[in-house]
Structure 1
Amino acid sequence: MSKRRNVCVIGCGISGLSVAKLLQQHEFNVTIVSESDPRIIHSDPTFSSLFPAASVIPRSVNSGEIDSLFEESLSHFDALHEQQFPGLKIHEHFELFASGKDLPGYAQYMDAFSTLEEFRDSFHPTHSGLAIQAGWKFNCYFADWSLYYPALLNSVLEAGAELQIQSLEKDDLRDLPFDIVVNCSGLGSVELFNDPNGLLYRGHLLQILEAPMLKNPNGDTVSYNFSPGAEIYHTESGNAQDVYFYPRSDGWILGGSRQEGRLDEHGIWTGEQTISPNIEIDGTVIPEQIFTLHKNILYETFGMELDRFTKRKVKVGYRYLRKKEEGLRLETEEIHNRLFIHNYGHGGAGVTLSWGCAEKVRQLLRKNVS
C-alpha cells in the first residue's frame, strides 16, 4: 500500500499482539484497545494470555484450517528463532499415555517425531506406578512466557503502536474512530459480538518458583504431557484429564485441568468444580493429581524431589473455545459501516496458531481494503 492505514486491534493477548506486529511490518499504524493493562502483573483469569502453557502444538482448537494456519505459524517461529527472539526455545517434548492412543494429526509437522516403540528403551519420562502404553516425542517450539510475551509487547509498542486501556461495551463499537477493526478479544467476543457458540474451560496451573531447567542426557530441555487414564484423573463429569510439565526461566509450570463451565452475570465461575482428591496451595483448591502425578514423574525421571521447592503459586485461567460446528473464527463482518475482522476462539492453541492467524488477518485486509 502506498500510505500507512490506521487499524484498531481489540485485545492485547497473544493473538492481538501477533496481529499488531505483523500489520506494523506491512505499513499499518496500529492502535490496541485492551481492557487489562498487559504491563501490570495481575491475576484476571479472563485475560488468558497471562496463563498459557505456551507450547507450539496444535491441540484444543476447532478449525478446518488448522494445518495451513499451523504451517504458517511454524514459518514465523522459525524466523523468530533464527533471530534469537527472547524466550523462544526448543524442547524435546513427550506425550505419553497409560493406555493406547492413535497418532495425532500433527505428527507430520513435528520435527524429529518418533513413537514410543522407537524410544522405549532410551530416555523418557516415567511413572513408578503407571506403565506407559503409548506415546511419542518430537522437538517443538516453546514460548518461555516471562520472556517472550514482554518482548513481543515491547517490540509492538516501540514500533509505534498506541495502547489504550479501555473496557468496551457493545454500544462502543459504533464510536470507534477507525475504519478497520480487528477483533482479538477472545472471551470478550461473547458479549461484544453476541457470539453464543463458545465453550469455556477453566484450568489450574501450579508454578514452582526457582526450579531448574530439566534436561535429557543429551542436554536438551525436556517437557511432557502425561495422560494417566480417567480412572486416575477426571473431571466432575467424568472426562479424562492429563497433566503437563514445562520448565521455564522463572521455574516450572505444572498443569493442568480442563473444567467446563461458564461465567455468570457477575463474572463468577459456574460449572465443573474441583472434586476430591484435591489440595489447597497458595490459597486455591486444585486437583491433587496435578501435584502427585508430577511428583512421581519428576523423581522417577530426573531424581527431583518436588517437596524441596516450597515457593509455589497457583494460577487459574479460562480458555474460550468455539464449538466444532462453528470453530475458530477468522472472517470479516461489516458492523456500523466499517470492516471488522474476527480472530478468536483459539482454545488452547492461541500461541500455536498466533502467527498463522495473524497472516490470515493480513490477507483478509488485503482482500477487503483497496
Structure 2
Amino acid sequence: MTAGERVVVVGAGVTGLTTAVLLAEAGASVHVIAEQVPGVTSLAAGAMWGPYLVEPKDKVDQWGQRSLEIFHKLAENPSTGVRLTSGIEASRTAEAPPDWATTLPGFRPCEPAELPAGFSAGYRFTVPLIDMPTYLAYLLRRFDATGGTVEGRRLASLADIGPASMIVNCTGLGSKDLLPDPGLRPIRGQHVVVTNPGLTEFFSEDTGLSPDLLCFYPHGDTVVLGGTAIDGEGDLALDDKAAADILTRCTEVEPRLVHARVLEHRIGARPARATIRVEAEQQKTGTVVVHNYGHGGAGVTLSWGCAEETLRVLSDNQLEKQ
C-alpha cells in the first residue's frame, strides 16, 4: 500500500478488524465504519479454529492454514485471548476425521475409554481456542496503535461512506441489504457462557449438518457451551429452549458442568454464502471496493488469510490505477 492511502473498512467483526489492522500496518490510513463495534456475531463465536462448511475448499484450506500460523504466534501472548488447547472431536457414527484436523499438533485417534458414552470414534489434537471478547479488544488496541480511526454509524449504502481512495466491505450478513447480495443467508448461532468447574480441554461433536451442535470451549474462568446452527434464521432474540437444550447436551457429556452457573447468552447470525467472496468491484464513481464476506461459521478461522488476500487485491488494483 502507498503510505497514507485512505482506505475505509466497513464492518467491525473479526473479518473487518483483522483486515483493518493488516491494512493499517501496511501503511494505509484506515478508517473503520460499523454499526456495532465490535460486531455482535463475532462476539458470539466460540471460538475454535477449524474450517466449518465453507467453500471454495482450495482457497479455504489456504486461508485457514495462514490464519492458523498467525494464531500460533498470537498464542504466545496471553493478552490476545488466543490459547493452544488440547481436546477431542468425537462422532457417534464413526466418521473419518476432517482433513484439517489430521495436520494439527498431537493428532491421534482416541482410545475407546477416552470417549463419552454413545460415541464410537474420536480424535485428539491441539488447536487455537480464541476468547472472542478478549481477542476483539486486542484487535481494536492493535488498530488504535496504528492511528486508525473508528466511527459507529449505520450505512444505507456504500455511497453513504463519503470520500475514500478505496473501500473494503466486511459487513458479513449486512451485505445482503447493503449491496444488495441476495445470495447471503443467516445461520443463527447461540452459545451459553458458564462458570468453569475445572475444565482445561475442549470437546466438540462432529454433528454434520444438524442444527443442534455440541461443544464446550474453556476460557480460563469461563466455558462457552454450544450450540445451534439454524439455517435461514437471523433473529437474535434469546431462545430459552435452545439454551436449555445446549446445557442438557453438554452436561450429558461433561457432568462437571451440571453445577456451573450461567453467566450470559451469546447469539449471532453467521453470514453464509455458496462461496466466500474476496474480490474487487469498481463503483460507477470509479472507487474500487474489495469485498471480504460470506465466511459462514469460519470467520475467525479464515480471518488472517482473507485479510492478506484482501490486501493483495487492493494492491493489485492500486497498481492498475497508476
TM-score, normalisation: structure 2 = 0.90
Where 2:71 maps in the other structure, the secondary structure is helix
Taking the TM superposition and a 5 Å limit, the aligned residue runs for 1:75-154 are 75-116=69-110, 119-121=111-113, 124-127=114-117, 130=118, 132-154=119-141
Where 2:80 maps in the other structure, the secondary structure is coil
Give the aligned residue type for 1:102: A
Structure 1 segments (4+ residues) deviating >4 Å: none
**Within 2, Cα distance between the matches of 1:93 and 1:139?**
6
Kept after mapping to 1: 8 A contact 2:2/2:28: no
Kept after mapping to 1: 8 A contact 2:10/2:168: yes
Gaps of 5+ in 1: 39-45, 216-221, 271-281
The match for 1:320 is 271
The match for 2:299 is 350
Give the aligned residue type for 1:52: A
1:188 aligns with 2:165: no
Taking the TM superposition and a 5 Å limit, the aligned residue runs for 1:1-370 are 1=1, 3-38=3-38, 47-64=40-57, 65-116=59-110, 119-121=111-113, 124-127=114-117, 130=118, 132-170=119-157, 172-173=158-159, 175-208=161-194, 210-215=195-200, 222-227=201-206, 239=210, 241-263=212-234, 284-286=240-242, 288-299=244-255, 304=256, 306-323=257-274, 327-335=275-283, 336-370=285-319
Give the aligned residue type for 2:312: Q
Where 1:368 maps in the other structure, the secondary structure is helix
**Within 2, Cα distance between the matches of 1:37 and 1:115?**
41
Where 1:353 maps in the other structure, the secondary structure is helix
- CA spacing shift, 1:82–1:253, aligned 2, 3 Å: closer
Comparing both structures, which one devotes a greater share of its residues to helix?
2
Kept after mapping to 2: 8 A contact 1:10/1:182: yes
- CA spacing shift, 1:102–1:31, aligned 2, 3 Å: same
**Within 2, Cα distance between the matches of 1:342 and 1:256?**
29
Q: CA deviation at 1:345?
A: 0.6
**Within 1, Cα distance between the matches of 2:293 and 2:104?**
24
Gaps of 5+ in 2: none
**Within 2, Cα distance between the matches of 1:2 and 1:36?**
29
Kept after mapping to 2: 8 A contact 1:212/1:247: no
**Within 2, Cα distance between the matches of 1:311 and 1:103?**
32
Q: How many residue pairs get matched?
A: 317
Kept after mapping to 1: 8 A contact 2:115/2:122: no
Q: CA deviation at 1:158?
A: 2.6
Give the aligned residue type for 1:48: T
- CA spacing shift, 1:169–1:240, aligned 2, 3 Å: closer
Higher Rg: 1
- CA spacing shift, 1:163–1:309, aligned 2, 3 Å: same
Q: CA deviation at 1:83?
A: 4.7
TM-score, normalisation: structure 1 = 0.79
**Within 2, Cα distance between the matches of 1:294 and 1:84?**
27
